[in-house]
Each structure stands twice: as C-alpha cells, then as structure tokens.
Amino acid sequence: MSDIKVKPLADRVLVQPMEAEEKTSSGIYIPDTAKEKPQKGTIIAVGPGTKDVTMEVKVGDVVLYGKYAGTEITIDGKDYLIMKQSDILAVI
C-alpha cells in the first residue's frame, strides 16, 4: 500500500486521515477555517501488539477514531496520526 519506513511499536497504529469535506450535501463549499477535523482514516502500519493486547486491525483497514485521538506527525510532507489501537472506535 505504501512504502513508509515507520514501524509503530507495541499496540500502536499509523493512520492516514481522510481529507475533510470540501462541500456540504446541498452543494455549499466549506472554507478551510470551518472544516472539521476528520475522524476517519486508513491504517498504514500496525505494531506487533503486546502480550496483553492482540492487534485486531490490519494495514488497509478504514477506521473511525476519536476527535482528539493520537499524535499528529508529518512524514515526507504528508500528515499522519499515530495512536493506540484502543483509540480506534470502529472498523468500517
């Protein structure tokens, strides 16, 4: 899927957030200042888990996560989130 050289440790995952909505369902364009932070993304890398936590997600899964979940990082000019598996709410 991607050739990122980041390998999350323990029960962490690397998520690429989806783009924020550009316009509403009625066709009104949303300015950058009013866009909400996306809460959906694609898993790019998965850690090995721990003896207590088995990893239930895999690379390529589209997931929903909490609004303030994870830590934002930039790799090669792209924005990603690194978070614990427990911060993921659901797999879509």
| Protein fold of 12-91 | 10 Kd Chaperonin, Protein Cpn10; Chain O (2.30.33)
Residue 31 is predicted with a pLDDT of 75
The pLDDT value recorded for residue 2 is: 59
Q: Are 67 and 83 in contact (CB under 8 A)?
A: no
**Distance between CA 44 and CA 13 in Å, rounded?**
8
Write out pLDDT tens, residues 41-67: 999 999 999 999 999 999 999 999 998
pTM: 0.83
DSSP string, 23-76: B-TTSPBPPGGGPPPP-EEEEEEE----SS------TT-EEEE-TT-SEEEEET
Give residue-wise pLDDT tens across range 6-42: 899 999 999 999 987 677 778 887 777 766 777 999 9
Look-up: residue for tokens 């709410």?
A: 89
pLDDT at 83 exceeding the cut of 80 = yes
Residue ranges of the domains in the chain?
12-91
